[in-house]
Structure 1
Amino acid sequence: MSKLFAYERRTKISEYLNEHQRATVRELCHLLNVTPATLRADLDFLVSEGHIERTHGGAMMKANGRTEYKFATRQLINSDQKISIANEAVKMIYPGQCILLDSSSTIFELAKILARMSIQATVITNGIYSAMELSNNKLLTVVLIGGVVQSGSPVIEGKFGSSILCQFDIDTMFTSATGFTYEDGLTDFNVYEVDLKKLMAKFSRNVVALLDSSKMGKSSNNTFVSAKQIDTIITDQSLEQPLMEKLLNDKVNVIVAK
């Protein structure tokens, strides 16, 4: 393995612990091909960011099962898959449309692509980074939903500015989630953002979910869109047959990004 930068190592540690829940220093040193001293420095950083907990001889996910990464960290996780999915999603945007973008890191990849396109459209979002990126395209009318900004977060939360949604004829909402199961639908941790996402879905004719394969089969504690409310799912791997059959029965279109 070639030498990794610090942020690449920490992303791999986060992904490994997300999958395995816990690991020893020896396991992670072998995974990253680094010394224990380097590994401990990476673990200390992730602890300071609130991502993980240290254990005797290793590390584990937070005891409550909740891992909310800072936005910059979330951008790095499964970034290739997110970009491929976003490239498929942008094919669904046409001139003259009014669309909604949530504040997820996957949707931010879609915003970056859209910002470079020669297309006239109206984009409503609660993602500060997405709004800033899209504002560079003079052909786009960008509407930022008002609300509460938490410290260190590029996300607008709450329903304070949601009244603006009823003033637009919204074609499609593009959204992602912490997890997706057929039983629970699209779920997320943040109850305040979930409340806003419910309203965003309510005012949209179509809901398109951009979900990399790591989100499949996982569920958080707050549902904002049921499986039957979704019009299209774009993902990076074929879905398991039982899930695929249920979605097709509900007339949910599934696209696998190349």
Structure 2
Amino acid sequence: MRRAEIRRILRTQRSATVEELCSLLKASPATIRRDLAALEENAEIERSHGGAVVPLLRSAEQNFAQRESRDAAEKQAIAAAILPLIEAGSTLFLNDGSTVMAIAKAIVEAGIEVFVATPAVNVAAKLAESDAVTACLLGGFVRQSSLATSGPFAEAMAAQINADLAIISPDALHPERGITFINAEDAALARRMAAQSRDVTVAATSAKLLSVARVGSIPLTAVSRLVLGCHIQDVPQAIAECGAEILAVRSLPE
């Protein structure tokens, strides 16, 4: 977890000193230097005098790193709450996004044996780091803005998979409009994933609640569970009464 956080910090701000990392991560200089040495050995960072930098990222990677840094604690709490819902040997759908990446990292760190189908190139690459995970990348046209595939090829592949659980992170969540997306192809693929799954879990940070994006996807009546990045008392009443199980992760022990 600490090395993953170092990677996130460096991708967000490009460089950091050992002293900065010690302060942010509450670790000793010796521990941080060992972490940096291990990351450099894996060619993930480059050491600099007194710290480290990351190689220049492509714009899509830089944008994703910035999205990962927003509401990072919520996303990690959401991932921790979802992990017990995943049974060993099960088949999952994951869509794309920074919340989904947090879930993928939790799966890898837990070493759960699972089959995961996803349109996200970066999520599939992260899942492939675990020998216990079979990562299936849904084929299609790769959008640079999201680092994910989309379109009829991705939907056709998803239609051939029978999943136990679809974990979907939307662009917005509204009690009447359901889960919605900015991109029509993302909405269509999420709809297909839900249709192919016995159970549908929606993961959303608090910033997405009571908002509506451009394209409708799945009504809340088709969702089994909402995992929300807020305190239980902060869940809007209309969402709490939608009929889905509510897991408000900020009510979990810190």
TM-score (normalised: structure 1): 0.69
The sequence identity of aligned pairs, in percent, is 21
Q: How much does 1:241 deviate? A: 5.4
CA contact (8 A) 1:128 1:156 kept: yes
Q: How much does 1:167 deviate? A: 3.0
In structure 2, distance between residues paired with 1:137 and 1:78 = 26
Structure 2 regions of 5+ residues with no counterpart? 1-8, 14-58
Task: Report the equivalent of 1:246.
Answer: 241
Q: How much does 1:195 deviate? A: 1.5
Task: Report the equivalent of 1:101.
Answer: 94
TM-score (normalised: structure 2): 0.70
Q: How many residues align?
A: 194
The structure-2 alpha-carbon separation of the partners of 1:241 and 1:159, relative to structure 1 and needing over 3 Å to count, comes to: same
The structure-2 alpha-carbon separation of the partners of 1:148 and 1:217, relative to structure 1 and needing over 3 Å to count, comes to: same
CA contact (8 A) 1:159 1:195 kept: no
In structure 1, distance between residues paired with 2:180 and 2:222 = 13
Secondary structure in structure 2 of the residue aligned to 1:233: strand
Matched, 1:175 2:179: no
| Partner deviation per Cα, 1:161-219 (whole Å, 9 max, x = no partner) | 32222433201111111111111111110112212111111111111111111111111
Matched, 1:118 2:99: no
Quote the RMSD (CA, aligned, Å): 2.3
Task: Report the equivalent of 1:23.
Answer: none
Match of 2:153 among 149, 155, 160: 160
Match of 1:185 among 171, 174, 178: 178
Which of structure 1's runs of 4+ aligned residues deviate more than 6 A? none
In structure 1, distance between residues paired with 2:12 and 2:93 = 31
Give the letter aligned to residue 85 of structure 1. I
After TM superposition, list the pairs within 5 Å mapping 1:1-12 onto structure 2.
Answer: 7=12
Secondary structure in structure 2 of the residue aligned to 1:100: strand
Give the letter aligned to residue 243 of structure 1. A
Task: Report the equivalent of 1:230.
Answer: 223
Structure 1 regions of 5+ residues with no counterpart? 9-48, 50-68
In structure 1, distance between residues paired with 2:221 and 2:241 = 10
In structure 1, distance between residues paired with 2:240 and 2:86 = 27
